[in-house]
Amino acid sequence: MRIRLNGQPHEAPDNSTLADLLRDLGLADRPAAAEVNRTLVPKAEHASRRLTEGDEVELVTLVGGG
């Protein structure tokens, strides 16, 4: 299925969960916060949050800033 990931088109296996996506991207063990369709999904819900075609996913981390 096709989703949008951090503003870019992304192909993800059907029935993927948010946790699957993070694992496939190598982010499973890194601090990463996730939004699906502009709503935050807490880490505790990543494994149960199933993605669907057209979902807009944002994965963010902390960078230097003032």
Nearer to another protein, 33 or 47 (CB): 33
Residues forming contacts to another protein in the complex (CB under 8 A) are: 5-8, 25, 27, 31-33, 35, 38, 40, 42-43, 58-66
The CA-atom distances, in angstroms, between 20 and each of 39, 50, 65, 66 are: 18, 9, 30, 33
In whole angstroms, how close is the CB of 28 to another protein at the nearest point?
Answer: 12
The CA-atom distances, in angstroms, between 52 and each of 13, 48, 57 are: 10, 13, 10
Nearer to another protein, 53 or 64 (CB): 64
